[in-house]
Structure formats: C-alpha cells, structure tokens
Amino acid sequence: MDIDKYIVDDQAKNVQSARFSEDFQYIIDSDGQKVELDDPRIAYVSPAANNSYGRLIIQNLYHFNGQNVRLSRETEADILQYSKRICSGRECLPGMAIAGAVLKDIAEYREEDEITIYQIPTDMDSACQNGSWGILWETFSNRLNVKNIILSGDSSYRNNYLGLNPNVTALETIGSMIGHYLTEARNALFCVAENRHLALTIFEKASSEYIESLKNKGERMLTSGLKEWVQQIKKIPIKAKVDETPKVLIFGGINLANDHYPVEKYFLEMGIIPKVVEYAGELTELLFSYYIVSFGFKRGYTTPKEQFDESLIDYSNLTEKELREAKRAKMYKNASKVFNSQCQLYRKIIEETGLLFDPQISFEDLLEKGNEFATVIGSTETPMITGKFITSLQSGVYDGLINLSTFNCQPAMNSQPIIRPLANKSDIPYAALDCEGPWLSTNQLRLLETIAVQAKRERRRKNELILNS
C-alpha cells in the first residue's frame, strides 16, 4: 500500500472515520453501519514498542480468547521513516515511533476488510512532550484518509475495555514483565553458556513452546508453563557463574523502549551481560505514582515515603473532591501492590534457573532516592532515572552503568547533569548517551568500548576481593 495517498490535508479528507458508540457497546463503521464488538473483522493494534517475548505473550493470551490483536515489533529505522509522513521530527522518540508503527501496520499488515482499533496514548498528561501527544493524534486522525480505522486511547472500565477481554487486559503489563525476565535470562545465558549456539537453541525452543502454550491453553499456563520452562533451562551447561561475569545496566526514560537495541547487542558481543531496565514496569509504576504523589503533596507531604504511606492520610476531614482524589490515590496504591506481588511471583519462578541477577528495588524506594536530587512533584522521569542510578550503584551488582537518553526528551536529558557529579564520585564506569534513535555513532561506539573495558576490569577487581576475603 502506498501510504502517502492515505495522508491528506484536513480539507481533502473524504472518508468518514469509524467510531465507538457513546456507551462503547458497539462500533459504527465508516459506512454508518452498526458493528458488534465480537465481529471477526475487528482487530486491535498496540503500536507502542514492546520486548520480543512480552509482545508474543500478550498476543497469544488474546488469541486464546478469540480476539485478533497485533503488537508492534521493536523500533527500527523503517518505522521512523514512516513517522516522517505525519511528524515534524520535533516530537519525542516514543511519540514518533508509535505514529510510525501505526502507518507501517496500515501499509503492511492490515487486511482490506478489517476494522482496526489502534490503541494510542491519546490522554497522556505530563509536564513533558507526552502532554502534547494529544495534538499529534488529533492531527493524525484529521489527515488519515482510511476507512474503518479508530484511533483510540488505552482500554479501561470507562470505555468498556474497547471490547477486549478485561481479564487479559489486566495481564498485559505482567506479560511484558515476564518478557523482560526472559530477556534478562537469555542475555545471561548468552555470556555464560558452555556451548552458546546449543544453549540458545534450547532456550528459544523452550521459550517458543511456553509462549505457544498460552495461545492454546490461556492464562492458566502463565505459571505452570513457566515452571516447565525452568526445568528445561536448568539442564543447560554453563561455563561461568553469573555473579562472577561482568554486567552492565542500561537505564533511562520511556525512550529506552525505542533505542536500547544496539547498546544491548554491543555488550553481548563483548561478553558482558546487559540488563535493560524493565521499561514496561517502570512506566506502569510512574503512571500509578502520578496520582499518589499529587494527592500526598496536596496534603503537605513532600517525600515519596510519606506520600505512599496510607496511614498518614486523615480521611475524616476531607471535602468531596479531596475524598475522590484520596480514593483514586488509594486505588493506585493497591494496584501497585498487586502489580508488584505478581512481578515477584513470576520473577521468583525464573530465578530458579540461576540466570537472573538484577536486584529488585521497589519503585517507592527508587523515587525516594531520586527525590533527594530532583523533586517528584514535577511528575516526570527525571527522579525515576536518578533514583535508578543511585540504587543500582548501591546494590554493587553492576560493573558499568549506561544512561540512555534522546536529544528531544527533556526529562531524560535532565537526569544527566544531576547524575554526572554523583558518577564522578563513584568507581563504577558510567556513560550517558544521547541517541537520535536505535542506532549508534562512531563516537558512541568508542565510548561503549571504553565502558566495556572498564567494566571487565571492575568485575575482576570485585572477584579478587571476594576470593581474598
């Protein structure tokens, strides 16, 4: 499909967009016909980047429930090429990547008679560019001259979950987190396996069987299937201990989902285990914390430790509006607890392989550390990134730290001048990279080479200290 002919000026648009009914109980297509939510022509597309395992886990959970769902692959150059048709280039990388992924799906994957619902963040609220995404999507909608397409926000009880199975919707982020844990295990195995090729063949086969079982048997296989997966992975011979192998953390803001690939690949090639921060989980927690921090600050609490402490809230002296805000904050606190307990459950299962190493630090503690240098009141990624640096440094697990940002993501960039003096006081190698997308310049590769050499040296030093003690 030639996508350019489907992007027109506002005045030239001659196709009526499809839409949901006001109560979200059915769809009205471009011809004005009523379409029930169980119509087989309906397809749901999530264009935000996801990790490769998590994407397939979520997709298969929906397929088991008879719903056609597609999730975007990793952000590649062609996706950003598509985004140029609608974006100016000044938008932040995640926004451009989502726009490009929508256009790529329309051009390459969408069926002719399909009624396609694209789940895009239409209602983002933030002090950074995310708060302006609504303008991008409105412009996008006005210029997209394609029949039976709906640009929708995320699914929730307010919009009848867009017709999706609410039980599976609740598992989307958990599916992404399991994908993150599988990636962490795979990266470790890549560096410590006795026979790398054979080990990765076994790993990918076992992972494919686990993910396929979700398509055939549904969410009940999330736990039992994972336990079977662990038994297969434990049989793979390794030549070195994960604890004694050099490790590097790749962290940053939301942009991390779109630009970490070449950095991760580079360290694997150097025999260093890279851990990419679980961006799906951190984004979820960041969105939860917005309401918790906001309400706590209105009650006079300035630190995350106070804002997350429900016992400090006096419910007896609240106005009707304050009571609504208090209930919402409490709801997100409970949601955060449930989310964390689920993450701990699946991580504990995968830990039996001996391939996981990242110290699990609560988001509350992470924000508390970051808040010492950048206030959480601004509701941006800056304190989250700063807190991640400090807590990772204190854990002693990593031998190198990479802060990955993009030039037009100000909250992520703001973390760099805060972290730099802290990094200068530490012995752990650290570098901040300012990327334009999922690629590296020659200078950035040289910088990564320096960090790789230093990380190996740092791990040797730590191993000698342990041996001598």
pLDDT at 409: 82
Q: At which of 159, 176, 211 does a domain end?
A: 159
Closest-CA residue to 215 (of 66, 51, 39, 54) = 66
The DSSP letter of residue 158 is G
**pTM for this entry:** 0.94
Number of compact structural domains in the chain: 2
Domain enclosing residue 73, as ranges: 9-159
Q: Which of 122, 143, 159 is a domain's end point?
A: 159
Q: Is residue 221 part of a domain?
A: no
Same domain, residue pair 151 and 253: no
C-beta separation of 204 from 297 below 8 A: no
358/281 Cα distance (integer angstroms): 14
Please give the structure tokens belonging to residue 126. Answer: 């933030």
Residue 142 has a CB neighbour count (10 Å cut-off) of: 14
Mean per-residue pLDDT, 308-323: 86
Residues 147 and 271 in one domain: no
Question: Within this chain, do residues 154 and 256 fall inside the same structural domain, yes or no?
Answer: no
- Answer yes or no: do 323 and 464 share one domain: yes
Looking at the predicted structure, is the pLDDT value of residue 232 above 60? yes
Q: What mean pLDDT, rounded, does the chain reach?
A: 92
Q: CA separation (Å) from 153 to 46, 118, 120, 121?
A: 10, 8, 5, 5
pLDDT on residue 128: 61
Going by pLDDT thresholds of 50, 70 and 90, the confidence category of residue 124 is low
pLDDT digits (tens, 9 = 90+) for 254-309: 889 999 999 999 999 999 999 999 988 998 898 889 889 999 999 899 999 999 99
- pLDDT-derived band at 123 (thresholds 50, 70, 90) equals low
276 and 418, same domain (yes or no): yes
pLDDT tens-digit series, residues 160-172: 999 999 989 889 9
**End of a domain among 102, 130, 159?**
159
Neighbouring CB atoms inside 10 A of 45's CB total 23
Other CB atoms within 10 A of residue 207 CB: 22
Mean pLDDT, range 83-102, rounded to an integer: 88
Phi–psi pair at 27, nearest 5 degrees: -115, 145
**pLDDT recorded at residue 408:** 78
Instruction: Give the whole-angstrom CA distance, residue 278 versus residue 216.
Output: 27
Chain centroid offset of residue 137 CA: 20
Cα angle vertex 194, ends 193, 199, to 5°?
55
**Is residue 312 scored above 90 in pLDDT?**
no
Point out the least confidently predicted range of 1-10, 45-54, 214-223, 440-449.
1-10
Residue 184, domain member (yes or no): no
β-strand 68-71 against 42-46: which pairing, if any?
Answer: parallel
166 is a domain residue: no
Is 346 within 8 Å of 181 (Cβ atoms)? yes
Indicate if 51 and 154 belong to the same structural domain: yes
pLDDT score at 14: 82
Distance of alpha carbon 369 from the chain centroid: 22
Question: Each residue of 380-432: pLDDT tens digit?
Answer: 889 999 999 999 999 999 999 999 998 878 888 889 999 999 999 999 999 99
Q: What is the DSSP string of 190-223?
A: HHHBSSHHHHHHHHHHHHHHHHHHHHHHGGGHHH
**Residue 415 and residue 299 share a domain:** yes
Tokens of 380: 């941006």
**Cβ neighbours for 88, distance < 8 A, ≥ 6 positions apart:** none
Tokens 């650290």 identify what position? 430
**How far is residue 171's CA from residue 222's CA, in Å, rounded to a whole number?**
10
Q: 3-class SS at 285?
A: helix
Query: Whole-angstrom Cα distance, residue 164 to residue 361?
Result: 32
Residue 125: pLDDT over 70: no
- Distance CA(11)–CA(260), nearest Å, equals 40
* pLDDT at residue 126 in the model: 60
Portion of the chain with pLDDT greater than 90, in percent: 74
Q: Residue 364 — pLDDT band, cuts 50, 70, 90?
A: very high
Residues 144, 324: Cα–Cα separation, whole Å: 38
Q: How confident is the model at residue 373 (pLDDT cuts 50, 70, 90)?
A: very high
Q: Report yes or no on 235 lying in a domain.
A: no
Instruction: Tell me if 165 is assigned to some domain.
Output: no
Residue 259 lies in a domain: yes
Closest Cα to residue 236, out of 275, 271, 204, 263? Answer: 204
Q: How confident is the model at residue 372 (pLDDT cuts 50, 70, 90)?
A: very high
Whether 227 is in a domain gets the answer: no
Distance of alpha carbon 274 from alpha carbon 264, whole angstroms: 6
Q: How far apart are CA 437 and CA 23, in angstroms?
A: 40
Calculate the alpha carbon distances from 450 to 231, 440, 456 in Å: 38, 15, 10
The verdict on 310 and 431 lying in the same domain is yes
131 pLDDT more than 60:
no
133 has pLDDT over 90: no
pLDDT of residue 122: 65
Q: Which residues pair with 249 in a beta bridge?
A: 275, 401
Residue 90 has pLDDT above 90, yes or no: no
Same domain, yes or no, for 256 and 403?
yes
Residues 248 and 376 in one domain: yes
Instruction: Give the span between the Cα atoms of 356 and 350, in whole angstroms.
Output: 7
Q: Which one, of 46, 286, 264, lies nearest residue 168 by Cα?
A: 46
**Which element (helix H / strand E) includes 453?**
helix 442-468
What is the C-alpha separation between 385 and 366, in angstroms, rounded? 9
Same domain, 277 and 390: yes
pLDDT at 116: 97
Q: Say which DSSP state 26 is in.
A: E
Higher pLDDT, 469 or 134: 469
**Would 314 be classed as within a structural domain?**
yes
Contacts of 86 (CB under 8 A, 6+ apart): 7, 99, 103, 136, 139, 140, 143
Token pair 């429930």: residue: 65
